[in-house]
Structure 1
Amino acid sequence: SQMDAEPPRAFNTAPVERVGAILNYSASGIRDDVLEGLQESDSDFADAVRKAIFTFPNIPHRLNGIDVPKVTRDVDAATLATAIAGARSEEEASACEFLLENMSKRMAQGLRDEAAEKGSVKSRVAEEAMNAVVSAIRNLVAAGEIELLSPDEAEDDG
């Protein structure tokens, strides 16, 4: 019986999921630095962590377009407009465009107009808005209302 007895586990999830969960909530600069360091020391682990992460730029690859209205219901228009106005990278702009294309034309135009009125927003404010969108998506996943595509499915589609 002692041979079969397994010691209690300190964590319920594997290291990849734990690191991914931490990096999900980290600032993008810190996340990029950590991933770069992981890539240098253990590229297989770094690749697995990249697949475990779900951030704003991952939205077009992991979120089903038909689920966008559920997300927009949980995120206020001002936050969405701030995220759109604050998109700096090509990946962030792609995520914004994906969201806009998968909502009603009227709502999308309203958000585009509001984002244009905001002009340039501080990167910290933009990142907070993007994190609010991602958090709403994670909450919908946790509630079982939507499912994210696995990174492997997303690679097959793209």
Structure 2
Amino acid sequence: MPAMLTGPQKAALVLIQMGKAAASRVMSQMDEHEIDQVTTEITRLRTVDDETLKEVFGEFQRLSAGGLIVEGGYGYAQKLLEETLGKEKAAEVLDRLASRIQVQPFEFLRNADARQVVSLLTGEHPQTIALVLAHLRPEHASAIMAGLAPETRTIVAHRIALMDGASPDVVNLVAEQLKRKATNLLTSREMTAVGGIEPLVEIINKADAATEKMILEGLHEQDADLADQIRQMMFVFADITLLEDRAIQMVLRGVETMTLATALKGAEDAVRDKILRNMSERARENLVDEIDMLGPVRISMVEEARSQVVQVIRGLEESGEIMISRDGEDEYVA
């Protein structure tokens, strides 16, 4: 199975294969944010399997027999930036990205399939699993968490929330031990300050509705106060009533009518009213008709639809387009 690459990773892969001259011309058309993203990924790339290369390049396949990238890394990124921006500006970019592009102990798991990582972590102590997940991207850690046994998932979630940090020596030792087990995975990554409630909330926020429910219910049985604290930091479907009307209108533009109709089945009146009053009369009538036409709907389908709506809301908050006012937070005065 080819590695799952992000957009910036694919762009970095293509630029490296193009060569510095052509890549420099392409990068000269990018904005500063795009250059930062691609540069970070170029410094991290070392080797990519043949199947991944074929998938990324598609009709433009011009691959070596081994299918491996033999360039990349910090030096290649530096030369490419110097050709694109000049030495002075290149140095500024690299300085700005210094903390992001340093070699990290768990980077070798970054592009691994979640099922591979679950297999790798099978039999490991829950504290070790928690340490690993706390270092990974939230969406990646969430997929891995979903593959753990329910009882392990609860213990690991609890340990992530209570983790204050980790000694670099311990992190490196765990990474080396896992790397020896993972002979089919590539590269490495480090992070010294990990764990705590916020990383766990991010992981849960990226999970599907069923996994989110199981994690929170399991945590509640083990540590009710901690579970309540985590719930307060999360945005759930019922919290739609906390959004301003302008934010609701932005959310509605990113949700399909069928999904919204399914999500509103059995919803509290306050939630339903909040959404309906932020729609045009025609859109409101269409939505109400859609809800009525659905008839009985499985709870799992309703939860999935609500999860999709919440993901849209969380995405808008992460991008800074809307602000969510949670209980206990200070409000702003104009």
Asked if Structure 1 and Structure 2 have the same fold, meaning a TM-score greater than 0.5 normalized by the shorter chain, the answer is yes
Aligned-residue sequence identity (percent) comes to 32
State yes or no: 1:9 paired with 2:189: no
Deviation at 1:108, TM superposition (A): 1.8
Deviation at 1:153, TM superposition (A): 4.1
Q: How many residues align?
A: 140
Partners of 1:33 and 1:146 in 2: how far apart?
29
Query: Which fold has the larger relative contact order, with Cα–Cα distance below 8 Å and residues 6 or more apart in sequence?
Result: 1
Deviation at 1:21, TM superposition (A): 2.7
Which residue of the partner structure matches residue 325 of structure 2?
149
State yes or no: 1:30 paired with 2:219: no
Deviation at 1:82, TM superposition (A): 1.4
Which string of whole-angstrom CA distances, capped at 9 and with x for unpartnered residues, describes residues 28-65 of structure 1? 64255135225xx362x33321211111122213x222
Structure with max Cα Rg: 2
- TM-score calculated relative to the size of structure 1: 0.73
- TM-score calculated relative to the size of structure 2: 0.37
Partners of 1:37 and 1:72 in 2: how far apart?
36
Deviation at 1:105, TM superposition (A): 2.9
Deviation at 1:18, TM superposition (A): 2.4
Partners of 1:15 and 1:102 in 2: how far apart?
37
**Over aligned residues, Cα RMSD in angstroms?**
2.6
Q: Give the direction of change, closer, same or farther, for the CA distance of 1:117–1:147 in structure 2 (3 Å limit).
A: same
1:69 aligned to 243, 249, 269, which one? 249
1:138 aligned to 314, 319, 322, which one? 314
Give runs of ≥4 in structure 1 deviating > 4 Å: none
Partners of 2:218 and 2:241 in 1: how far apart?
23
User: Which residue identity lines up with residue 30 of structure 1 in the other structure?
Assistant: M
Q: Give the direction of change, closer, same or farther, for the CA distance of 1:42–1:112 in structure 2 (3 Å limit).
A: closer
Corresponding residue SS for 2:328: helix
Partners of 2:281 and 2:197 in 1: how far apart?
39
1:126 aligned to 289, 302, 309, which one? 302
State yes or no: 1:113 paired with 2:289: yes
Identify unmatched segments of 5+ residues in structure 2. Answer: 1-166, 169-190
